[in-house]
Amino acid sequence: MTHYVALVADLTGRYANVLVQANTWDQAIDQLEDAGCEVIEDQSEDYEEYGIGLFPQLEELKEVDVIPINELTTSSDFVVHN
């Protein structure tokens, strides 16, 4: 599995960069849409310096406002699409 960073929008139009683990970008999109996100684009290349791929540096990513998908709806004010 690989890690991807996706630019997503919530129901109110606010944007977030979300870390998701999947085998392909298409599978990452499916996970994000299932979580209630509108997927805008793959931003993974912009975060390569943080080890996006197999072993991302999660603490460093949080410092640049990348949130793991499992924290998106539980630890943020993200408003999901239904």
Q: Where are the domains of the chain?
A: 2-68
Look at residue 2 in the predicted model and tell me its pLDDT. 92
DSSP string, 21-81: EESSHHHHHHHHHHTT-EEEEE-GGGGGGGTTTTS--HHHHHHTTEEEHHHHTTSS-----
- Per-residue pLDDT tens digits for 8-55: 999 999 999 999 999 999 999 999 999 999 999 999 999 988 888 878
Query: What pTM was estimated for this model as a whole?
Result: 0.90
Would you say residue 80 has pLDDT above 90? no
Task: Calculate mean pLDDT across residues 68-74.
Answer: 87
